[in-house]
Structure 1
Amino acid sequence: MRTRAAARRALVEFGSPAREPLVAALRSPSHTVRWEAAKALSELADPASAPALVQALTDERFDVRWLAAMGLIALQQAGLAPLLEALEQASWDKVLLRDGARHILRTQLSGPHGSVLAPVVAALEGTEPAVTVPLAAYRALAALRGESW
């Protein structure tokens, strides 16, 4: 355990060059490797890791999903676009993605984009999220980018 934690700290201290190997490690068949990669990426807080963290929200293991969510929360605004893009394109069966997104976006409601994100959270908490979330995510993404829909 101490060796893994020390290795993770070293990778985080190494910074952005460690991102790609950590992203690759998120696809490992080993739960422990995925957990350590998600934890390190969460601590690294590199915006370029956001798409991989979004993908990790669908991991089979809750603790990996939780760490991915914590990493996206740490990224704040930098994690929003990849998350909203995933929600916009998600198929109806992406329940784990929607659950993680709901948690992440709820933490952002009091921030500068709260009014843009509130309809997405409402859709995620509604009765038909598979139907309503893609459009709400599209509209939020357009608003964040300064586009009209």
Structure 2
Amino acid sequence: MGEPAKILFFCHLWLFFYNLLIGEEEGSMNIHAGYKKNRKPVYYHKKVKDREIQSLIKDLQSKDGLARQYAREKLVSMGRKVAERLADLLNHPDVILRWEAVKTLSQIADPDSIPLLITALYDKDEDIRWVAGEGLIAIGFPVINPLLDELIKNPGSFFLRKGAHHFFTGSHDYRDYPEISDLISALDAPNAKINTPGAARMVRQALARNNTAAS
């Protein structure tokens, strides 16, 4: 084989292996790209379906206590998504359904539910008012200003004052404020309707001073 023929032979051989190598790499890349494109995420969030929520809310009216408990626990696991769906139940004539709705909100303990739980403090049923108070205690600090506003606006409500007393005596983190002790005393006093608004304003001012000092 002459010299030119040898050179041509090795050129063809080099091109053969080069194309073979490039083809394998591109195939590998295509396979990898296809895998990434078609791969499904391992974790994903399930959307809460309206009909599932409706079914669980319906089960809150069941005569079977275990069925109600199961429905409540499922609703609690869904979190704040169901809170607004429970709002209409707070005025339902069925006391058991109202209790279940307030209990669910209390266990979710989402700050967005504070107005609903404060509303439940006006309920004529004592057990419902107690559960609402427990829910407010579970939420904690974000409750204070809305509850103070409600006391200033409607100090004549015995149920509201009793619910506020429940909250402030149960929230031990705030017992160091002398103004809160004064408010608790005002809520219990014979002239509570008169003294409560002023005591509530004093608590608000004390908290504002504390926040200013902390910043």
User: What TM-score do the two structures reach when normalised by structure 1?
Assistant: 0.89
Q: Does 1:64 align with 2:135?
A: no
1:97 is aligned to 160
Letter paired with 1:131: I
Q: Which runs of 5+ in 2 are unaligned?
A: 1-64
Deviations 1:89-144, CA, capped at 9 Å, x for gaps: 1142x001111111211122x31463142221121122310000011112212333
| Structure 1 residue 17 corresponds to structure 2 residue 17 | no
Partner of 1:144: 207
Scaled by the length of structure 2, what TM-score is found?
A: 0.63
1:40-55 paired onto structure 2 within 5 Å: 40-55=104-119
Q: Give the equivalent residue in structure 1 for 2:176.
A: 114
Runs of 4+ in structure 1 deviating by more than 3 angstroms, as ranges, are: 145-148
User: Residue 69 of structure 1 contacts residue 104 of structure 1 at CA under 8 Å; is this kept in 2?
Assistant: yes
Identity of aligned pairs, percent? 34
Q: CA deviation at 1:41?
A: 0.6
Asked whether the 8 Å contact 2:155–2:196 carries over to 1, the reply is: no
- Contact persistence 1:85–1:141 (CA under 8 A): no
Secondary structure of the structure 2 residue equivalent to 1:19: helix
Q: Paired residue for 2:92? A: 28
How far apart, CA to CA, are the structure 1 residues paired with 2:138 and 2:183? 19
Contact 2:168–2:174, Cα closer than 8 Å, also in 1: no
Q: What residue in structure 1 maps to residue 20 of structure 2?
A: none
Residues 13-62 of structure 1, C-alpha deviations (whole Å, 9 max, x = no match): 00111110122211212111110011001100101111111111110111
**Higher-Rg member (1/2):** 2
RMSD: 1.8
Unaligned runs of 5+ in 1: none
User: Which moved further from structure 2: 45-54 or 133-142?
Assistant: 133-142
Report which structure shows greater RCO (CA 8 Å, sep ≥6).
Answer: 1
